[in-house]
Amino acid sequence: MHQNWEQKISSYFSCSQVQNVLVMPAPSKRKRAGDASSTASKVGRSSADSSASSAANTATQAASELTKIDPQEELLSTSKSLFEYLERLPPGTLRSIYNLPPPGGATVAAAVLRSSSLTDIARQCALRLVACGGKFKVGSIVEKWIQRHGQRDALLALRRLESMGILEPLGLANRPGQGNDDIDDEANDSEKRAKLMAKIACLTPEFKGAMKLHLSTMSSSPWPTIAREQIEEFKKSGGGAKSDGGEKESRDPPAPYELELYTQSSWDSVLHFLVGSDEAGKDKGGVEEPPEVMIQFLTRIGLMQEDPDYNGADRSRAPLVITSKGYEFMLRDTNAQVWQFVLQYLNSLAHHNMKDAIRMEALSFLICLGSCRVGEGYFNSVLQSKSARILMKDLARFGLLFVCRVAGKKAFYPTRVAVNLVASNEKEGSRQTDAIGQSVAATRSLEESLSAPVPSRSHLAVVVQTNFQVVAYTTSKLHISTLALFCDVESYRRLPNVIFFHITRDSIRSAFRLGVKADQILRFLHVHAHPMLRNGDHQLVPSNVTDQILLWDRERRRVVMDEVWAHQCRDSSEFAAVGQYASDLDALAWGNAHTNKLYVHFGKSEMVYAYIRKWRTKHYNS
């Protein structure tokens, strides 16, 4: 199975070194998946979650063992959004992205400038610098452009610009993870400050060039769109007749609803498959089983696994079941889900020998897609590099693009998902987009789709009632399957555009057993709350339901496992002293005065141990 996958991927990248190309998302996951299946096979019919938890334990060890992995890659692989990913790239990489031939570089530069990665001040500085020739003294930027009380922010802004590869290095740069405190030190230290102020802030030529290009371009879309005239011209010239000759057939550009349908079916098919709803393939709405490659991809990134309860002889025929990570995945919103996919895709490039080039290509392509409009199409010929075309095919597989032949040439149409992937991330971090995304535009569109004469398949609006009833306005089997994860399936009532569920202790607990967390459920209910609840001061989820779900969650953790370090004291005086020290440190878990034994929280054991040694040298050696 793996071999198959490897070959396919390698064919995309037309690379000779098959072994190297094929890379796991993260070693920890591979380890985990392997562990889970091996434990399961040993224990036989051990329950799914017990093996999963044991796997989780070993996974953490595995992560530290495999130190070969680049910490940079590790950092990248946990990014929550596209721009967070960009932020975590080294400035050098970013600069080479800006330097990509048009439209890539220019679009990325503009997108970075618009994104939430930059503060308002940073944006202002960058734009001014572009307009004023690109060079300025730091002193004048900080002291003249900005009001007095904003100077600290100005320094932070410059630092951010530097780390995003927009400014030439000033020595301010600070990778994410480090604190902001040192900037204060620098600002206070007069000598250093003077030095800093005298420096020249200089835009990187890459960014400057890209920005200039962007500002001088008239078109809003990165590539020339397929114009209506082109299609008509093609038809006039008898392009339609040609298709009879066995050549690949040209068609009219897809209508917006067709694109929407395509997105839903291709993306939903993945999700359907994940939750194992029997609807997949049967529904005439167009949902069918996702391509084999996709399925393998799902197992690869740990969303699915072979059924650990399967006790047939041939393990390779074991049915795939969703993992707890998969459930977590289900409860996210679509953008986050797509990003997760794209991220895994980018990660899978990590060990490629041309990884940087391909990754740059991929990122710029994604960002370009973000500045496209849904419904506009582009000929394949706009993509110059070969890797970009391969990329296009792969993204089409996720439902980000719709590929067809128009006017005799291959063309691609970005879908809503692709455009939103960048657009929604531009504003805020992914957590906030849930709330903001739902706020105005989404609420209106949801209201519209609720009142549509024939309910559309995409909307979901949930009302949770104080009697633990969940009223979900939806027609999608997928949403129902998702709700069924934590609602009582025995007592549902389904009507044409609405479904009624009850939340019970058992249903919530079974969700917990699958690895779903209480806050995920609550967030899901919040995100999909009915628009009616958002007008006025209604609670999106009644507080008694929230409380109860949290209480049910707490029920499971009544016995708390804690890792401790046991220390046998030599005598009661040591016991008293060390015990005192440990409890001052808030590290003492338990002490037994009869046996002079102390149990210290593992996290703080080293400090306690250091103290013990000090205490012993003082008391026993003198």
Partner 1 sequence: MTNEADDDYYGTASTNQQHEGGDEYTSAKKLVQRAADREALLKNLKPSASSLSADRSSSDVTNSLSTTSTQLGADFSSLKLKPDHISRPCWTCPDGTIYLEAFHEFYTKAYDFLVAISEPVARPEYVHEYKLTPYSLYAAVATNIDTESIVRVLNRFSKNEMPVGVAQFIRECTKRYGKAKLVLKHNKFYVESDYPAVLRELLRDDLISQARVAEETSGGDGAAAGGDGAAGVNNAAASGNGSNKNADGFVVNTKAEEMEENLRILREMDGDSDDDDDDDGEGGAQKQAVAKTTVSFQIKGDSVEVVKRRAIDLDYPLMEEYDFRNDKMNPDVPMDLKPHTKIRRYQERSLSKMFGNGRARSGIIVLPCGAGKTLTGVTAAQTIKKSVVCLCTNAVSVLQWKYQFKLWTNIPDENICVFTSDKKDDIPPQSAGGCVLITTYTMISFGGQRSDKSAEVMNQIKGREWGLLLMDEVHVVPAKMFRRVIGSVKAHCRLGLTATLVREDDLISDLNFLIGPKLYEANWMDLTTQGYLANVQCVEVWTPMTAPFMREYLMADNARLKQLLYVMNPAKLRATEFLMRFHEERGDKIIVFSDLVYSLKLYAAMLKRPMIYGETSERERQAILGTFRTSDALRTICISKVGDTSIDLPEANVIIQVSSHFGSRRQEAQRLGRILRPKSYTQTDGSNRSSFNAFFYTLVSTDTQEMFYSTKRQQYLIDQGYTFKIVTTLSEKADLEALQNDYAYKNAEDDRQLLRIVLTSDIEKDQRAEDTAIRKSNPDGAKLADLGVKRTAGSTLAQLSGGSGARYSSGPRKIHPMFAKRRKARM
Contacting residues toward partner 1, per CB under 8 A: 282-284, 450-451, 453-455, 463, 465-467, 469, 471, 475, 489-500, 532, 542-544, 547-548, 551
Residue nearer to partner 1 on the CB measure, 221 or 510: 510
Helix-helix angle 543-555:505-513, to 10 degrees: 50
Least Å distance, CB 488 to partner 1, is 9
Distances (CA, A) of 621 to 575, 606, 615, 618: 17, 21, 10, 6
- Our CB check for partner 1 shows the closer of 529 and 600 to be 529
Minimum gap (Å) between residue 510 Cβ and partner 1: 14
CB 287 within 8 A of CB 277: no
Measured from the CB of residue 506, what is the shortest distance to partner 1 in angstroms? 12
Judged by beta carbon, residue 500 or residue 609, the one nearer partner 1 is 500
In whole angstroms, what is the distance from residue 359 CA to residue 361 CA?
5
Nearer to partner 1, 125 or 463 (CB): 463
Quote the tokens at residue 277.
Answer: 């709803």
Instruction: Write the single-letter amino acid at 155.
Output: L
Residue with tokens 């609550």: 522
**Segments in 199-255 forming alpha helices (H):** 205-216, 228-236, 239-242
Give min distance, CB of 238 to partner 1, in A.
Answer: 40
Min dist CB 475 to partner 1, Å, is 7
Q: In this complex, which beta carbon is closest to partner 1, that of residue 69 or of residue 532?
A: 532
Q: Which of 262, 430, 189 is nearest to 333 (CA)?
A: 430
* Residue number with CB closer to partner 1 (218 or 454): 454
Angle formed at CA 139 by CA 137 and CA 141, multiple of 5 degrees: 75
Q: Is 266 helix (H, G, I), strand (E, B) or coil?
A: helix
Residue 411 region by backbone torsions, left for phi larger than 0, else alpha for psi between -120 and 50, else beta: beta
Residue 493 C-beta: closest distance to partner 1, Å = 5
Give the torsion through C-alpha atoms of 307, 309, 314, 316, to 10 deg: 10
Structure tokens at 254: 């897809």
Q: Which amino acid is located at 424 in the chain?
A: S
Hey, is 444 helix, strand or coil?
helix
CB of 500 to partner 1, least distance (A): 7
Q: Which two tokens stand for residue 76?
A: 């990248």
**Shortest CB 514 distance to partner 1, Å:** 18
Give the C-alpha separation, 449 to 97, whole Å. 40
Tell me whether residue 124 or residue 548 sits nearer to partner 1 (CB atom).
Answer: 548
Distance CA 211, CA 213 (A): 5
Phi and psi for 293 in degrees, rounded to 5? -60, -40
Could you tell me the smallest distance in angstroms from the CB atom of residue 489 to partner 1?
5
Q: Which is nearer to partner 1, 382 or 533 (CB)?
A: 533
Considering beta carbons, is residue 354 or 551 the nearer one to partner 1? 551
Position 118, amino acid: L
CB of 435 to partner 1, least distance (A): 21
Element (H, E) at 471: strand 469-473
Radius of gyration, alpha carbons of the chain: 29
CB of 455 to partner 1, least distance (A): 7
Q: Residue 529: what are its φ and ψ, rounded to 5°?
A: -60, 150
Q: Name which of 493 and 570 has its Cβ closer to partner 1.
A: 493
Residue 444 CB, nearest approach to partner 1 (Å):
14
Q: Which is nearer to partner 1, 490 or 562 (CB)?
A: 490
In the block, tokens 């609405």 appear at: 498
Helix or strand run (H / E) with residue 296: helix 292-300
Cα angle, residue 198 at apex, residues 195 and 200 outer, rounded to 5°: 125
Choose between 116 and 497: whose C-beta lies nearer to partner 1: 497
